[in-house]
Amino acid sequence: MAIGRCLQLGTARLLIAVLTVLLANGCDRPTTGAGVIRFATGTPLQSFDPHRSDSGPVHSTYLTLVYDGLTGANPDDLWNPLPSLAHSWHWVTDTSIEFELVTGATFTDGTRFDASVAKVNIERMLEVKGPRVNTVATVRSAEVIGPYTLRIHLHAPDPTLLQNLAGSPGMMVSPGAFDNPDLDLNPVGTGPFIYDKDNSTIGEVHRFVPRPDYFNDAIANDAPYEVHVLVNARARLNALISGQVDIANISPLEAAPAAQLGFAIEERANRWFGMTLLDRNGELVPELKDPRVRQALGFAVDRQALADALFFGYARPASQPMVKDVGYVPALDNFYRYDPDHARALLKAAGVSSFTFVTPVSPDASSEYEAVQHYLRQVGINMEIEVIEPGTIAALARTERYPVNTITFPNFGPDSRHPAIWETTAVFNPFRVPNPRLNELAAAARSSLDEKLRQRNYKEYFEIIVKDVHSLIYLQFADLVAYDAAKLRHVQVGPFIDPVLRNIRLAPTDDSAATMPKQQIDVAGAPDA
Amino acid sequence: MLSLFLGRLFGLIPLLLIVSFMTFGMLHMVPGDITDRILGTEATAEQYAELAEKLGLNDPFLVQYGRWLGGAVTGDLGTSAYNSQKVTDAVMDTLPVTLSLTAGGMLVAIIIGIPAGVYAGLHRGSSIDRAAVLIATIGQALPNFWVAMLLLVPFALWWQLVPATGFTPPTTSFTGWIASISLASIALGTSSSASLARQTRGAIIDVLKQDYIRTARAKGLPRRTITFKHALKNAAIPVITTIGFQVNALLGGALIVEQVFGLNGFGSLAIDSVRTQNIPMMQGVVIMGTLVIVSVNIIVDVAYGYVNPRVRTS
């Protein structure tokens, strides 16, 4: 009995100690996050060197806080960039553009930004041949015209240049830091924030403090930022619910519980869901050579059902890769309606009663493609799914191993998609299926600064892509963020996954910790499937 | 005791060589290509080829392994394939999180498992014993991520007594540290406490049947003396073995629990390294993980020697 009493007393003491710690910790919490904008992302930092990283849109969250581009990304209209380190520009000739630069910008190491600095940055960007140098491949050289006037010379006209200079290729690094071995973890830019390296932990949280001397008052922000890396989507939602972050990337699955709890949801249709028909010559699957057979793949699938059931409404049926601006063709929007009878008729007209093809699918997309598989089976098409190792889909899409690939591309605009996917020598056209007309149209569109002419070329271009089924688009689906609307203002999802962080502001009265609802919910922290 | 310790330590060298070679080999068999991860979808075919050459991916396997080993023997486990982060820095940043969880989980297991096992063993056949066995069986069957979810919703999301995600180092705030690992430790330790309770109960029952216990009773020694001086010390050997196994199991279980609680621990680093095919990082994770597990085994061996003189002399 004595031993039993001893054990019971020990357990009771332990419970009291644990509760004391929990309550003490609970009492400490209200001050957490006051005056700080805390964002939970699923994308870990790769590199702070904009010229060497595959930053582009994917890692722009980190880069845009500490760097400025020559032009500024415009989330409302990607084709019309905003002033940034260049306050204005004009085309001198079709292959030469002149930038007037701001005069008050300095790097965090004290170096003043001017035209000579911009010139050596452009040269460095071309020299290091980073992952996105291909997007500004037309740049031939940079020339200093005056202390704050820079001219960039091109090999050929490039209507996308201004848009791409707003991204990582156009971001300016202090020349004194070019050769810093730790530039990838210790940025030296002109951006509105300074990276607080000492208080950041790679893979966990990155902290940024506002620069009091930032040159652009319109963008300057008083609130520090914390970017928390939480790879698990449900963990990000939990962090939001428990008040540890103010804004988080979420998946469609988490959108409903987040909305129920009073969090605001922002969305942006950024990516397409579908398939890329690689074997259009019919080398592996002869049936795929006939465009009618490829079209049958489109008419057989109920896109609305997929959008509702798999993306919880945060997707819309689509038939074309682009969602707006250049390359978007309204008439193609509903080209592939759900019509299984028509699909069967197309197969019959092509002399095909049934056929089989194999496609690789990433584990995280297998349920979506199993739904597609079900619809295709109804019309006599047997799509065999081969679930592959995570992260290998892009490598497989560059080989001739599969006739069809399920790689998902972001819809950045036609100019960068053509050389990547549909051009005869594109890396994602492994069978080298030729289509001279597509190449002509893309070349004509890319070499013209006339928007109307570009759109006319791309209209015909995408009619071929859709009707000849180079790529089969089922849905355009959204990237989502949930946030505490009582605390944050100006939240907007950027062109790929993350919100446009540098535009977010704290609400005038920062009393959100008290105003956010603390409802009981029935969601749990299950790991992602 | 010293020779026991040194013997185990020298045995570590061939083990690390074998583990590192096998890991390196297996990582090279994983399908996919790190150049895809680094370059994304905008690069040209030439850029993919140039990067593969720059990273040494075109070199023969043994050349790549030799290069890595050459650095490793000088204490340099290399740098991340994505940036200049040192592998050792990444490991040292994340290891405290996982060791905290493992220690917390073990503490939970010991605090619950050993007293419950001792009590059940001393009262074999009683209703409490039967209840303890039943609860231990159920506890062993519960997946730790499921327990984690059950704990997370009320304590972190409803009542917000502890943070739902993230780790607070003890150097920043001791109470914050306890709070940040409390739920994860309980989730992690639940199954281990059940195993420990069953092992302890069985060991106590075995020891109580021994002749020397009967002799001690015949000599009229008080029950407390028999239990604490004779029974518990002799029952400790299988219990220590179980603790050693459980520490290793907890290190593995932390991999999943860290995901649920968004903890940037050793497990998260391992998963992220595999996901991004960051071979230098993954290699460092495996080597350091091996070191931790072997260290635990050495401690267990030394503890054997402490409680059982026959191990020392053998």
- Write down the pLDDT at residue A145: 97
Do B66 and B199 have their domain in common?
no
Cα distances (angstroms) measured from residue B293 to each of B248, B251, B286, B288? 6, 8, 10, 9
Determine the average pLDDT of the residues in B106-133: 90
Best of B30, B46, B83 to mutate (most A CBs within 10 Å, chain A)? B83
Last residue of a domain, one of B56, B83, B110: B83
Higher pLDDT, B36 or B227: B227
Taking a contact as any Cβ pair under 8 Å apart, which residues of chain B between 125 and 154 contact chain A?
145, 148-150, 152-153
Q: Which residues of B touch A29 (CB under 8 A)?
A: 160
- Asked if the Cβ–Cβ distance from B30 to A420 is below 8 Å, we say no
Select from A371, A364, A431 the least CA-distant residue to A392: A364
Q: How confident is the model at residue B125 (pLDDT cuts 50, 70, 90)?
A: confident
- Write down the pLDDT at residue A512: 46
Do B174 and B70 have their domain in common?
no
B167, B263 Cβ separation under 8 angstroms: yes
- Write down the pLDDT at residue A415: 83
- Write down the pLDDT at residue A523: 32
- Write down the pLDDT at residue B313: 62
Do B75 and B131 have their domain in common?
no
- Write down the pLDDT at residue A469: 94
- Write down the pLDDT at residue A519: 33
- Asked if the Cβ–Cβ distance from B161 to A523 is below 8 Å, we say no
- Tell me the CATH number at B205: 1.10.3720.10
Q: For B236-295, what is each residue's pLDDT tens digit?
A: 888 888 888 888 888 888 888 998 998 999 888 998 888 788 888 988 998 888 888 888
Q: What angle, 0 to 180 degrees and rounded to 10, lies between the N-to-C axes of helices B279-307 and B232-260?
A: 160
- Asked if the Cβ–Cβ distance from B119 to A4 is below 8 Å, we say yes
Q: How confident is the model at residue B38 (pLDDT cuts 50, 70, 90)?
A: confident
- Write down the pLDDT at residue B312: 61
The answer to whether residue B167 scores a pLDDT higher than 50 is yes
Determine the average pLDDT of the residues in B197-201: 92
Taking a contact as any Cβ pair under 8 Å apart, which residues of chain A between 383 and 442 contact chain B?
388-392, 394-395, 398, 407, 409, 416, 420, 427-428
Cβ contacts of A234 within 8 Å, gap of 6 or more: A254, A523, A524, A525, A526, A527, A528, B260
Q: Which residues of A touch B119 (CB under 8 A)?
A: 3-4, 7
Which chain A residue's Cα is nearest to B119? A4
Do B118 and B239 have their domain in common?
yes
Do B120 and B78 have their domain in common?
no
Q: How confident is the model at residue B223 (pLDDT cuts 50, 70, 90)?
A: confident
Q: For B2-16, what is each residue's pLDDT tens digit?
A: 777 777 778 788 888
Do B207 and B58 have their domain in common?
no
- Write down the pLDDT at residue B295: 85
Last residue of a domain, one of B53, B83, B113: B83
Q: How confident is the model at residue B235 (pLDDT cuts 50, 70, 90)?
A: confident
ipTM: 0.78
Do B193 and B75 have their domain in common?
no
Do B23 and B170 have their domain in common?
no
Taking a contact as any Cβ pair under 8 Å apart, which residues of chain B between 33 and 72 contact chain A?
33, 36-45, 47-48, 50
Do B126 and B26 have their domain in common?
no
Do B151 and B249 have their domain in common?
yes
Do B98 and B75 have their domain in common?
no
Best of A13, A21, A32 to mutate (most B CBs within 10 Å, chain B)? A21
Number of domains in chain B: 2
Q: Which range, A388-392, B84-88, B230-234, is most confident? A: B84-88
B132, B119 Cβ separation under 8 angstroms: yes
Last residue of a domain, one of B83, B107, B130: B83
Which chain B residue's Cα is nearest to A415? B42
Cα distances (angstroms) measured from residue B213 to each of A419, B121, B208, B210, B308? 83, 14, 6, 6, 17
Q: Which residues of A touch B186 (CB under 8 A)?
A: none
- Residue B101: which domain range? 88-313
For CA atoms A224, A229, A235, A236, give the dihedral sign.
positive
* A13 touches B at CB < 8 Å: no
Do B168 and B257 have their domain in common?
yes
Residues of chain A falling short of pLDDT 50: 1-3, 6-7, 15, 18-31, 55-56, 510-529
Give me the helices (H) in B61-173, please. 61-72, 87-122, 127-141, 144-152
Q: For A154-177, what is each residue's pLDDT tens digit?
A: 998 888 899 889 888 999 999 999
- Asked if the Cβ–Cβ distance from A239 to B40 is below 8 Å, we say no
- Asked if the Cβ–Cβ distance from A202 to B148 is below 8 Å, we say no
